[in-house]
Structure 1
């Protein structure tokens, strides 16, 4: 018995173009599309209060992991501040002193906060001193913006060296 092979009328490509992944957007395309911009209208302080409650739970976990205050300080430097209520205590810009609100967005050089008056404010980190209240330890912490001048994702992986902080 003889086997006869029939030629296929259609050739199947090794890589199916339909399964090909889409091209990712470049940084300039993202800026042009305003992907990371927060709309100034329609943003309410009340919408971000649940985020603050989640952040308080996150801080309770961090505080419970290390009993040593210096360990907690190191963890706090690496922590994510989205959802924290921060208050500006000192700044080069006197108009920013006293500003308080929930951190909505954190970039390398800025905190974007929403105030209780439903206003969105951009606060530079450099040469600014912040105050954060924690329910976990019933304490108020002072954060120097100069130590936070990296993105939160990069700060989490960074090793910090002990350096003296120069007060404003």
Structure 2
């Protein structure tokens, strides 16, 4: 099995695939923790999970920067759908993914800052507060955070359904190109 590091017109390279799947795991794990946090009373477990949730949110921001740079300097594989309109929607949907992920992450960070909390990333380093302690900003930030999570989940479901449509209905290599192995 031969792995390519760079993308080419026919498929994604190892770096793009790793960014995709690592971010997928981080985002799904963080969403699951966020759901659990909503049901927990104040406790050491809630404090621990909240710190993991905040750390994963900062990790998303950290990963998006090189991922976007990688996407900008690499060839993006040719769309296989054959419909120029849908191909264009797909292109913009991918950029919307990055945008909404940043909205989710920065609104969470803003919420923590406005509540007077700190974000200590996995006990390794702390990020500075984005704003001073302020209840009105905290309320706005948590509302933006929650709404943007639902928007992201909606776009994610559409993304998954589109991938399955390509795989099972169109029977093209769109889904396989993002997986590892001899699928390009």
The normalised TM-score by structure 2 is 0.28
The normalised TM-score by structure 1 is 0.30
Structure holding more helix per residue: 2
Q: Which has the higher contact order (CA 8 A, sep 6+)?
A: 2
Asked which structure has the greater CA Rg, the reply is 1
Structure holding more strand per residue: 1
